[in-house]
Structure 1
Amino acid sequence: MKKAITYIVALGILATMVGCGSAKETGGTSGTTAPSSTTAPSSTSAPSSESSSDAFSDKDISIVSTKDKELKVSYGDSRADVEKKLGTGTEGRFSLVDYESGASIWYRDDKVVGFMLDDESDFTTPNGVEVGMKKSKVEKLYGKQFLQTESDRSLDYVYDKSKSEWVTDPSEVKKAEMDNYLHINVSFDEDQVNRILLGDERVASLGN
């Protein structure tokens, strides 16, 4: 019941924020750059703990085990490959597949298209954002320059793969081309991360 309520709340938040985000902040440079806790470089780059110059791609929509840093699941991985690593999942609501490790994954045509992490998860994002982390720490890791929407309860980043650039205006997201966008959503409760959603825009908006 807890998981079901979590999914309903999470999808409701995303549907609202994708359509009419409460606020946005854009960077002060005209070049395409990644969210960064420091001055952003002039090239397109991803929020990353390894290198601020890494180009953002599908593989940055991934989760890494807190118990084994070599255990990673990424956008586009086949369900068969995922379940070799995580074991057999259980079909949940809203097309999610739940695993004992606490990871919940969306598949489309047996390929990973999204993740949900909550307080039962043993995974983080590639740059170390995890449930329980303070909002200020998340902002330091992801930055604020290319936020699409921000509120006390969430941060959203959207990346357009077709243009290789961050989308700071929700109205620029083309609903007919949702598979072209990658979405990072971090939700907060009392200034701490309580849910992380990673996936393409179709997952973020529709949950499938």
Structure 2
Amino acid sequence: MWFIDDQEVQDDLKKVIMLVAMLLTITACNSGNDVADQLEPDTFSKQDMAIYKVDNTKGRVSYGMSRKDAEKVLGTGDEATTNTYTYDSGVGVLYRDDKVVAITLKRESQGVYRTARGAEIGMSTTRITELYGEKHAINGTGNYQEYHYDTETGQFLDEAALLQNPGSKEALRARHIFSAAYDGDNNAIELFLIDGLAARTLK
């Protein structure tokens, strides 16, 4: 067995061990968004319809949340258009019946907010596709990418389905959409979480 006789060396060794233990604990606590770790590519759920503060995963704003609760995280916003508010750090929210139905992340949100999967402004098309999956991505002209998920049927919608009759207001409310707009270098400049009715009517 190996013994260290020098008391000063023993004390230094104890300090190092304690420091390593603290660093491991901090790393474990800040390993990322627990929700993001659970979300697999080519899937979608109600957990996807949320944004989180980068430095505080408890700072969450999600689809269906009341304006009162959303503003506990975002602060007081400025009304841009009817029921649409802009907040510090580049977040925009559309409310319907005082509930969140659309969330926008703009340039100023980079490094401050990200989606539940970890997508944020400045991220490449390739990385966002890795997070959300390639199978159900709809890539349009004008550098945008979308995923349309029908919460009623539990299935993604393809381009052909989107061209059909959109259905009732209830059917549109049940459609959840993640959309990303990219610049010429294929880096995200705007991210959207929105339901089908808000996307079609801005209401």
Q: TM-score range by the shorter chain?
A: 0.7 to 0.9
What count of residue pairs does the alignment treat as equivalent?
162
Aligned to 1:198: 193
C-alpha distance in 2, partners of 1:54/1:135? 15
Q: Indicate the structure whose relative CO is greater, using CA pairs within 8 Å and at least 6 residues apart.
A: 1
Task: Calculate the TM-score normalised by the size of structure 2.
Answer: 0.72
**CA offsets, 1:94-133, max 9 Å, x none?**
6321111321111100001010111011211111111111
Aligned to 1:50: 38
* Secondary structure of the corresponding residue to residue 120 of structure 1: helix
Structure 2: which 5+ runs fail to align? 1-34
Q: CA deviation at 1:203?
A: 1.6
Q: CA deviation at 1:171?
A: 2.1
**CA offsets, 1:64-93, max 9 Å, x none?**
112322211110111111112222211113
Aligned to 2:134: 144
Query: Bigger CA drift: 92-101 or 111-120?
Result: 92-101
Aligned to 1:109: 97
Letter aligned with residue 178 of structure 2:
I
Q: 1:196 to 1:53 in 2, by over 3 A?
A: closer
Task: Calculate the TM-score normalised by the size of structure 1.
Answer: 0.71
Which residues in structure 2 correspond to 1:71-82 (within 5 Å)? Answer: 71-82=59-70
Structure 1: which 5+ runs fail to align? 1-46
Q: 1:133 to 1:140 in 2, by over 3 A?
A: same
> What is the percent sequence identity of the aligned residues?
29
2:176 aligned to which of 182, 196, 203: 182
Query: Bigger CA drift: 188-197 or 65-74?
Result: 65-74
Report the RMSD for the aligned CA atoms in angstroms.
Answer: 2.2
Letter aligned with residue 181 of structure 2:
S
1:128 equivalent in alignment to 2:118: yes
**CA offsets, 1:8-46, max 9 Å, x none?**
xxxxxxxxxxxxxxxxxxxxxxxxxxxxxxxxxxxxxxx
C-alpha distance in 2, partners of 1:135/1:54? 15
Q: Which structure is higher in strand share?
A: 2
Q: Which structure is higher in helix share?
A: 2
Q: 1:193 to 1:55 in 2, by over 3 A?
A: closer
Q: Check conservation: 1:48, 1:54, Cα contact below 8 A.
A: no
* Secondary structure of the corresponding residue to residue 139 of structure 1: helix
Larger Rg: 2
**CA offsets, 1:126-177, max 9 Å, x none?**
1111111111111111121012344460111100111111001322462422
Moved over 4 A (4+): none
